[in-house]
Amino acid sequence: MATTMRVLVRRGGPSARPGESLIVAIRGELDIATAPRFAARFDEFLSGGLRRIVIDVSRLTFVDVTGLRALTTLRAQAEQRRVAVRLSGVSPQMRRLMRIIGPARDFPSSDRAAEAAGG
C-alpha cells in the first residue's frame, strides 16, 4: 500500500503581519517514504524570508522515527536562518515518540495552530 501525505499551506494567524509566518498542515503519513518530499517543500518555505513557521501535525495519521527526525532536522535548518519553528496539534502518541527521541524532546509545540503562529 502506498504511503500518502498532503501538505497544505496558509498564512499565519490573524495577528500575523503579511509574510511573517506560515502555517503548514501535514495530512496523512510522515515516514520514511514521505519525509524527503516534505523536506523539499520545507526548503521552499525557508527561502521565503519568514520569521515563523508552524507545522500543524493534528491530521497526521502516522509518524515514524524518520518523520520525526526530518522535523527535527528541518527545525535546525530553519533556526540557522533565524526562522522559528513550532509544532501544533501534537497527539499523545507523537508526544510519547518525541520524548523517546532525544533531539525532538525540546521541540516547541502548542495545541492550536493559531496560538503557535502568534494569533
Give me the residue spans of the domains in the chain: 5-110
103 and 72 Cβ atoms separated by less than 8 Å: yes
Q: How many CB atoms lie within 10 A of CB 27?
A: 16
Torsion of CA 74, 97, 22, 33, to 10 degrees: 60
> Which tens digits make up the pLDDT trace of 21-60?
889 999 999 999 999 999 988 888 887 778 899 999 999 9
Contact 30, 60 (CB under 8 A): yes
Measured between alpha carbons, how far is 99 from 97 in angstroms, rounded to an integer?
5
Is 0.85 topped by the overall pTM? no
Q: Which CATH number fits domain 5-110: 3.90.420.10, 3.20.20.80, 3.40.50.300, 3.30.750.24?
A: 3.30.750.24
Residue 109 reports pLDDT greater than 80: no
